[in-house]
Each structure stands twice: as C-alpha cells, then as structure tokens.
Amino acid sequence: MVQNPGSPNSARSPNYTAAEARQAILGRLAPIGGWERVSVRSALGRVLAEDVIAPCNVPAHDNSAMDGYAVRHADLAAQGESVLTVVGTAFAGKPFSGIVGAGQAVRIMTGAPIPEGADTIVVQEVTRAAEGKVHIPAGQRAGQNLRRAGEDLALGGVALPAGKRCGPAELGLAASLGIAEVVVRRRLRVAFFSTGDELASIGKPLAPGEVYDSNRYTLFGALSRLGCDLIDMGVVRDDPQALETAFRDASANADVILTSGGVSVGEADFIRELVNRLGEVAFWKIDIKPGRPMAFGRVGDAWLFGLPGNPVAVLVTFYQFVQDALQALAGVSPLPEPSLFDVTCAERIRKQPGRREFMRGRLALVEGRQTVRLAGAQGSGVLRSMSEANCFIVLPEERGDVEAGETVQVQIFDGLV
Ligand code: AMP
Ligand code: MG
C-alpha cells in the first residue's frame, strides 16, 4: 500500500514506483470543463468534446472497388466464357444513368456508383473486350469487388468518439462526412516557471556559477506539442516571497502549474511549507532514474507538478508522468497505452537493480533487425544525448546489467501520425 499522495503536510516523502506514481496521479484527475466549436482545420490537435455522428453513409453509394465491368451475376455461365454487350461507362464523378439489363455490362471505374441492375464487378485484367462486347471467364463470385454504402461509416453511427485528439486522419474523416465544424474542449492552460538563483536567461552573458535556463524551453516545446495554452512565467528566484507570488499568480490563471527545480532534498522543505499553505502538495521520491524527486498536488484550483531541475530529468518526468496527466485533464480518453516494444540491445549497459531507468537510446536497423545502443553520456544534465537519442531504453526496477545481444524495451520518441 502506498500512502495517499495528496495527504497534506506529510512529513515524509513516500517512495513510489513509476507505475504507482502514474496511477496515483491519473486516479485524481478529471477533464477540465469548457468547449468551443471550431472549423475542421482548426481542430487539428484538439480534443473532441462530443461524439461526431455520421450525417450520411460513407461511401454514400454502393461503388466499385476496382476498374472493370459491372455485370449481373446471373448472366454469367458457370463454365466457359460469357459474352456481354457493353452499354456504357460509369466514372467516379459521372455515374451510368441507365439500367444494366440481361446480357449487358457497363465499363466501370474505381469509385463509380454501381449502376442499377448490376451486382458484381469483374476486374478488367481478366476480361477481353472486342467490338462492343466483353468476354468474361467463369469463376466470378456474386457481389465481388463492391464497396457497400455505409461500409466505412453508417449514417447515424459514431464516426469519431468524444475524447479523441484530432490528427490528420480525423480531419479527413470529418471532411469525408461533409462536416465543417466540430465541438472541441477548451485548451488546457498551463503556467510554467523555472526556479533557481543560479539561472540566467538566454541572451545575457553568464556570470560565474550561473547556468542558462534551458528547462523553460524544453517545457515550452513539450507543452506546445500537446496544444496547451502557455503562460511562461520566466525564472523565479529561490526566495519565499517571489515563489509565493508566482504560485498565487499561476494558480489564479492556469489549470496546471509546472515548475522545474527546487524539489530536491533541502530545497523541497522550503517549497513544501509554502505550497502546503496554498494548497496540498506531496513530495515524492519515485524509484526512477533520472528524475527521482517530484512534487504533485494542488495549489488553489490548479494542479501542480514540481519537476526536478536537471534538464534530462525534466523531460523524463514530463514524458513518464505529466504528459498523460495533461492529456487526461485535456479530456483525452482513453489514454494511449504506453508503447514499449522489444528490441535487441547492441551493447552492455550497467544497471543496479532497484530503480526503473530511462536511458537515452538510438534505435537503428542493423541487418534487418531493430537494434538499440546508448546515445552518448547518460548524466541527468546531458541534454545533448537527449537530442541525439530517438528513444528511451526502459529498464525495469528488477533488472540488473544488460549484456550485448539481450532484449530490452524501448519507448520511441516520435509517433508517425
Ligand atoms: P535543483 O533540482 O533545483 O536542485 O536543480 C538540479 C540541477 O539542475 C542543478 O544543477 C541546477 O542548476 C539544474 N537546473 C535547475 N533548473 C534548471 C533550468 N531551468 N535550466 C537548466 N538547469 C537547471
Ligand atoms: Mg534549484
């Protein structure tokens, strides 16, 4: 049993596995309210707030799946060739308006409506046409090569379910139904800031001991891709008054507050006192590497995710915990399954059993097999290897060293659609 993550003022930091932390977060979140009606193009990346119901059949008419001849199956002889008279042509945009009578055929193109009277399409390749006739071999199946009206989508059926995030296929599908507008959920508003006295903003020279604030840029990228409305609150010093003002502002304006830094031992105590006064926040140690410390809870009416400061840990915790949480808040349902798949590891990887490790990997085809190797130095501050990687190598808690040739699981960075 894990301790209730939301319990306020908890003195100890509970230890969670990655799975427990995910579950504890997702178990508390419900989608935000609010919706708007937008044009199909503007729906790209948005989450449908209601089912899209098909107002017509797709395809609208029975039509041909192939180029060939529309015939009456009853006219075809069981043995030998049948010879039919070609009485016209049906194009996709220009149907044949007559009726196919006994002994007749209509030349038909892919997508053209099936002419009245015909019930079967014979593909052109098996036929022979000469002098207004077409010769058709035996062995044609009744109803073959036909696409039925409503086969893709039936009138009145759910074409796209509420909770779906619209990608290219969804825009096309809505358009295929003649739908010009859809109802989508309001965008999630996310306020984010970096904490740390050592942080310098880009564009200024670095003073001794300073580092550029990179986390706000990685988070900007990750959040933008999810289609959030962003409130970039800059860098906040490790100062109680400045932090309190930032948390109050953020919670008044956003659904979610995302911070980086200030959650490690020592710093956490100081922020803990502050945010527990403004809401209820638990500091967790999650058994992962990188990214062990993380805060989760509420500040005022907003959800708070306090990510670690290390640049790679920010991305690991974001992708393992925050991304799906934001999806759930944005109304995405069902959440996509985490897509892990097995590949061969090309090199030895050292690992202590105990924590779930997310290594930066480079997946490539080697002699026809997907093979992964480490993408450079794995320190939690080394963003370069994050950029060179195309996947996480995910090594579960109990796993020890990986030998070259063993199977490991990877999580790919980019999806196709
Ligand atoms: P913290 O979690 O605040 O102790 O930070 C852990 C490490 O991450 C320290 O080396 C910080 O300097 C670094 N760090 C924290 N915030 C940022 C940031 N916004 N950009 C780059 N590095 C950061
Ligand atoms: Mg710090």
- Say if 2 falls within a structural domain: no
- Say if 224 falls within a structural domain: yes
- Say if 335 falls within a structural domain: no
Are 205 and 326 members of one domain? yes
Are 233 and 373 members of one domain? no
- Say if 134 falls within a structural domain: yes
150 in ligand 1 pocket by Cβ < 6 Å?
no
5 in ligand 1 pocket by Cβ < 6 Å?
no
- Say if 25 falls within a structural domain: yes
Block residue for tokens 């097999």: 369
For position 236, which CATH number holds? 3.40.980.10
Ligand 1 atom nearest residue 198's Cα: 12
pLDDT value at 303 more than 70:
yes
At residue 4, the pLDDT reads 46
C-alpha angle 196/201/207, rounded to 5°?
80
* Mean per-residue pLDDT, 54-71: 96
Six token digits for residue 2: 């894990």
For position 397, which CATH number holds? 2.40.340.10
Tell me the CA–centroid distance for residue 374 and ligand 1, in Å. 24
290 in ligand 1 pocket by Cβ < 6 Å?
no
Are 298 and 258 members of one domain? yes
404-414 pLDDT per residue, tens:
999 999 999 98
Closest-approaching ligand to the CA atom of 264: 1
Query: Where in the sequence is the domain holding 346, given as residue range(s)?
Result: 341-412
Are 198 and 167 members of one domain? no
First to last CA, the chain: 38
140-178 pLDDT per residue, tens:
999 999 999 999 999 999 999 999 999 999 999 999 999
Are 233 and 273 members of one domain? yes
Closest-approaching ligand to the CA atom of 197: 2
Are 317 and 350 members of one domain? no
The last residue of one of the domains, among 147, 163, 197, is 147
> Taking the model in full, what pTM does it have?
0.89
Are 130 and 155 members of one domain? no
Closest-approaching ligand to the CA atom of 196: 2
Are 27 and 141 members of one domain? no
Q: How many domains does the chain have?
A: 4
More confident residue, 351 or 379: 351
What's the CA gap between 202 and 343, in Å, rounded? 39
Are 177 and 291 members of one domain? no
Tell me the CA–centroid distance for residue 117 and ligand 1, in Å. 74
3-state helix, strand, coil in the chain (%, to 5): 20, 35, 45
Tell me the CA–centroid distance for residue 401 and ligand 2, in Å. 32
